[in-house]
Chains A and B, each alone.
Chain A
Amino acid sequence: MKKYIYLVDDDDNIRMLIEYLLGDLGFEVSGYGTAAGFQQGIEKALPDLVILDIILPDGNGLEMCRELKSNQATAHIPVLLMSANLDNKMIAKAALADGFFSKPFDINDFAEKVQQKIAAA
């Protein structure tokens, strides 16, 4: 069964890169450039994993993560956070994220982490 991943990042190139990378591994990736878009998506159907950039034009990945984790319906979904600022690694932990990637990341580590989290879920 195909696994669904929701990806939120306002940078098109990064979305394309990750969509390609994860699509290659057999995942179905839905990319969103805004927090609002993601909100609409998640209301329609729940994914198997969420990848969030922290700084978004209309929201904050950390808060979105905390919200997902505090909601009964979504708390079980693994969330991975990404940021160009390494300091966010600890904050991500506090936001109950299941993993953190500092940009730029190593695609091998990235793919491995995503597969691992989906398998565990």
Chain B
Amino acid sequence: MRETLSPLFSEEQIGESGMDRLQPGETNHWFKELVNDSPVAIYSCDKQGYITFFNQAAATLWGRQPDCGEDRWCGSWKIYYPNGTPMILDKCPMARALIENMPDEGEEVTIERPDHTFRNLLVFPRPLLDNRNVIVGVHNTLVDITEQKKGEEKQAILSAIVESSDDAIISKTLEGIITSWNAGAQKIFGYTEEEVLGKSILILIPNALRTEENSIISDIKAGKKVDHFHTMRLAKSGKQIPISLTVSPIKDRQGRIIGASKIARDISERLDTEYTIEQSAQRLGILNAIGKTISEKLDGQSILQLVTDATTRITGADFGAFFYNTVDEHGDACMLLALSGAPLEAFEKFGIPQNTSVFFPAFSSGGVARIDDIRKDPRYGKNAPHYWVPKGHPPVVSYLAVPLIASSGAVIGGLFFGHPGPAMFTAEHEDTVVSVASQTAVALENAKLFDEVKTLSAKKDGFIALASHELKTPLTTIKGYLQILEKKETETAGKLFIERTLTQVNKLNSLVSDLFDISKIEIGTLQLYCETFDVRELIFEIIETFHYLNRTHQIIFRDPGRALFIEADKQRMEQVMINLVSNAIKYSPGANIVRIIVEHTDTTVTVKIKDEGIGLSPIQKKKIFTRFYRAEEASDIAGLGLGLYLTKEIIERHHGTIDVSSELGEGSEFFFSLPLKST
């Protein structure tokens, strides 16, 4: 480039610049060096606008090497006005400076480089005059302001962000003096910028939290950031505002910490929302728990205690109570049944609340009463003999009464809540208690029904126990005399009849025994008398018994060859085996074989009784172990359907299990498992 340079500065020009102490040749060379090496872009054009010279800095700025004597006015690839409009080359500042013979001071242009990057420039074109003041060309100095411009833009964006933020953005010195204050800060804290600039940040900090500032500042000095710190700050109004605070160090160019920027977000709304959500969730949780529990519970007292406790908790009441709407022998009392939040003694001595004007509406009309300040209620204070809240009674200002109404519309009772502060109960509390009350009313009715059923059932079981015992007495005599007659009878037919009668008496006796056992199971008085014995021994005895009793079926049993000891009530286990084997015989009229199979593991023994009988349908299988169930197809087969129910109860009381596998028409296999006695 320098080689293609045509002489730019005449010796005279240089002399005029005041450099005449230098030798002419020396001067030209010195200037060339200076211009060439300058970090500022410099170039010149002749009178026609053809570039005659440019330095290295200009080439770098343009991103290209223009052709001297070819390119005109400007070495850049493209040139624009600052607003982005393309600039006609002949109208560029250089051209204008030459044509108008006017130096241009710092006009801004934008150039585009061949690599499509842009630079912002300030241009300083000046005409070049010869000795006679005739314009011979023009030279230009280009100042690159791209970075500066970018910085300004960034600054503008940042300021806009800071100003438009809803968060308070404040900067302060390390001494805690406020140095900037945005609109968000004004909105949250109430102070204007003028009011706080230069003041201490302490004006925002509640007295109790002043030490916080020290620890924040020491963190900042250590270069640490304080992130999402939840605390309280003081607004101009004196109100304390919950905020989330982020404080970061501000560093100068050298990286020294010179202050702090803090961003404070008002989180009172968020906290309120969170609190509300938490409250609702808690309420829902309690409601759900109440609903579930009271629907499971079947005794009134514990339902009421639970409901009273829970609703007292939900409403935040100081105490809660449930009163039954019943009249006692004095004719005017309602009964206190459950109390929460206060000892029972606190209420016992005040007697009945029903006849007071405040209490009365809840019971009489079934209406809800929610009163913010009961002392201001016109009905208040009319209750003789106490008039106001009796001395010693937990103090009540806020009052809530919700009746429990039965499906019949009758008022079962009422839930009453009290709090010593005014306006403590909200509409939401009221709604919640009302919905709990309606659930409770249903639960109480169920509990009452269940109680009645339980009483009836107990009566029935007691009756069966008594009746079956009484039935045995005449059976004893009948059987005894029949046996005596059987011995004395000589006639074949008579003997046969007596024998048959005896069989029926035995059957009758076993039915009565079953009934008696069932009643004992229901009442819970079935006793087990356990002893240790070998299951095989039991099976052998059963086989022997059936050998005499039954002539239709052969019982096949393969001895497993080792003793299998269980601890059980032998008589009851005999009953189980007789039951299962009798059933197998009874329900397989077309077959002649019943198998008994014994299997065992280390801990259990399983006994299977398998027949080739009529089998069971899937529905029958499901119901077979329930009380009074019988296979319908077997209506001609006698029995009450108590046997398998009893069998299952006995097995389960021995910590065993019983089940059946069966296909209709394919026979059945009943199997029960019992724990082996560990040796």
Contact = CB atoms under 8 A, between A and B. Distances in A.
B473 interface: yes
Given A85-B516, A86-B513, A104 B571 contact: no
Interface in A9-25: 11, 13-14, 17-18, 20-21
A105 B527 CA distance: 21
A22 B520 CA distance: 34
Contact of B476 (A85, A87, A104): A104
Interface in B518-542: 520, 526-527, 529
Given A84-B473, A87-B520, 16 more contacts: A11-B473, A13-B473, A13-B477, A21-B484, A84-B469, A85-B469, A85-B516, A87-B526, A89-B571, A90-B529, A103-B475, A103-B476, A104-B479, A106-B483, A107-B480, A108-B483
Contacts of A108: 483
B497 interface: no
Nearest to B470: A84
A4 to B, nearest CB: 21
Contacts of A106: 479, 483
A106 to B, nearest CB: 7
B481 interface: yes
24 contacts: A11-B473, A13-B474, A14-B473, A14-B480, A17-B484, A18-B480, A55-B469, A84-B468, A84-B469, A84-B472, A84-B473, A85-B469, A85-B516, A86-B513, A89-B529, A103-B472, A103-B475, A104-B476, A104-B478, A104-B505, A104-B509, A105-B476, A106-B479, A107-B483
The 7 closest A-B pairs by CB, nearest first: A84-B472, A104-B476, A104-B479, A103-B476, A90-B529, A13-B477, A17-B480
B473 A103 contact: yes
A107 B484 contact: yes
Given A84-B469, A87-B527, A104 B480 contact: yes
A13 B479 CA distance: 12
Interface centre among A55, A84, A104 (most CB of B within 10 A): A104
Nearest to A18: B480
A26 to B, nearest CB: 16
A86 B571 contact: yes
B477 A11 contact: yes
A84 B476 contact: yes
B477 to A, nearest CB: 4
B102 to A, nearest CB: 131
B672 to A, nearest CB: 21
Contacts of B479: 104-107
A14 B476 CA distance: 7
A55 B571 CA distance: 22
Nearest to B469: A84
A104 B526 CA distance: 20
B581 to A, nearest CB: 20
How big is the B interface, by class?
Answer: 20 to 34
Contacts of A85: 469, 516
Interface size class of A (residues with CB under 8 A): 20 to 34
Q: B475, B483, B516 — which one has the most chain A CB atoms within 10 A of its CB?
A: B483
B547 to A, nearest CB: 18
Interface of A: 11, 13-14, 17-18, 20-21, 55, 84-87, 89-90, 103-108
B481 A17 contact: yes
Contacts of A11: 473, 476-477
B529 A14 contact: no
Contacts of B469: 55, 84-85
B402 to A, nearest CB: 52
A110 B539 CA distance: 26
Residue with the highest number of chain A CB atoms closer than 10 Å, among B472, B476, B479: B476
A106 B571 CA distance: 17
Interface in B470-509: 472-481, 483-484, 505, 509
A87 B575 CA distance: 13
A108 B481 CA distance: 12
B527 A90 contact: yes
A25 B267 CA distance: 104
B42 to A, nearest CB: 124
A81 to B, nearest CB: 14
Nearest to A82: B476
A74 to B, nearest CB: 26
Contacts of A84: 468-469, 472-473, 476
A55 to B, nearest CB: 8
Contacts of B484: 17, 20-21, 107
Contact of B475 (A87, A89, A104, A107): A104
Nearest to A20: B484
B465 to A, nearest CB: 9
A87 B476 CA distance: 17
Contacts of A21: 480, 484
B477 A14 contact: yes
Contacts of A87: 520, 526-527
Interface string B537-575: 000000000000000000000000000000000010000
A105 B529 CA distance: 21
A55 B469 CA distance: 10
Interface string B210-253: 00000000000000000000000000000000000000000000
A24 to B, nearest CB: 8
| A13, A55, A84 pick with most chain B CB within 10 angstroms | A84
Nearest to B506: A104
A84 B474 CA distance: 11
A108 B473 CA distance: 18
A2 B167 CA distance: 117
Contacts of A103: 472-473, 475-476
Contacts of B571: 86, 89
A85 B529 CA distance: 14
A104 B512 CA distance: 11
A90 B569 CA distance: 11
B521 to A, nearest CB: 12
A107 B485 CA distance: 11
B406 to A, nearest CB: 44
B513 A104 contact: no
A106 B482 CA distance: 10
Contacts of B516: 85
